[in-house]
Amino acid sequence: MTDRQAQPLYFHIDVNNAYLSWEALYRRRELGETEDIREMDAIIGGDISKRHGIVLAKSQSAKRYGIKTGEPVVSAMKKCPTLRSYAPHMAYYRERSKELMALFQKYAPVVDQYSVDEAFLDMTGTRSLYGEPVAFAHKLKDEIKDTLEFTVNIGISSNRLLAKMASDFTKPDKVHTLFPEEIPEKMWGLPIEDLFYVGRSTAVKLHSLGIHTIGDIAKSDVNVLKSHFKSHGEVIYNFANGIDLTLKDRTEEEQKGYGNSVTIPYDIKAAEDAYRTILGLCESVCARLRRDGVQAAVLSVEIKDSNFVVRRHQRTLLSPTDVTDECMRIACELFDELWDGEPIRLIGVSANKVTEGNLRQMNLFDMESHDKLKSLDRALDSIREKYGSEAVTRGTFYKRP
């Protein structure tokens, strides 16, 4: 294998306006409609009386009215009198997603599905099979359009972060590259809002510091960024310089772990509410660990904000654990390092790299409290198993939404 063949190569493939595209496909195929909702003032929304009554996707013409993804449907209706709202058909969307992933697996040695409408393809070593990456990406893009009847963008680079950034360049139905040598020309001139992991609150603070472009972040003093944003400052500094630290292949890790997440029926804006949610998730995850007689060596937290930006942070523990209070404390620390103040709509907690038996390192300072907490957890597990999950509830959850 030549050096060029061995160089890392990633595609990031993202469906163009997935929910709207798939709903248009549903209405044409299943209902026989001839109008294309992508060409109308249209949104994909839901039941206005519930949490799902928010804008999940919008057409280009609806976007011109200032309608934003994540805002309430009732608010969007006020902005555009001619707006049509369509309830999502999620089962149909998942089927289209499965078809797309199956097509990827025909060509890519490794497919890491990142969400329902996007995936990373590890194409390292495939140049001898498919030729030049850009030419093959165009063929793949066209095959998706011809066979699955929707369009995608494909970003190409030597790491996942840059491939993802490239796929967000001009849309729809495009192929873009963003290799490290192209960063100054293609990425540094973009506004900070275009950088992965920069939400509204982070952007406001960056602008107040005189940082307006991705290049400004890349050329900033990382210690100054850390002083304002904690560990998140270092993350965006690395991202601005094209260094990928977090977009790893999570497939193997997730198969060895336990996780749970929840979409909250209101936007969380206070850390206290987030901590309460994290505690509930830790109770669920740790109960499953104890049930299976395993302990986790890695804990991770995921949040999705009201702009649908997803962030993840993880930590390797000093000793594996299955104790709820220990996991809760660490998860809250991870959350504090991760959260930039944006309203939150989803929180997840995962426990990974699990091992059987008790591999805890002896620690004179926490052994007694650890044993007490472990005994408490076992007692709670026993009560709930016998009388139901609601038989005993922590006081912090009492009469809380």
Which of 69, 119, 82, 72 has its CA nearest to residue 99?
Answer: 119
Q: Which residues contact 220 (CB under 8 A, 6 or more apart)?
A: 211, 237
- As a residue count, the chain comes to 401
3-state secondary structure 122-186: ECCCCHHHHCCHHHHHHHHHHHHHHHHCCCEEEEEECCHHHHHHHHCCCCCCCEEECCHHHHHHH
CA-atom Rg of the chain in angstroms:
23
Distance, CA of 368 to CA of 107 (rounded, Å): 54
The catalytic residue among 118, 283, 326, 342 is 118
- CB 57, CB 19: distance < 8 Å: yes
* CA-based nearest residue to 136, from 97, 175, 171, 166: 175
Residue 95: active-site member: no
Closest CA to 299 of 247, 352, 343, 345: 352
User: Which are the catalytic amino acids?
Assistant: 118
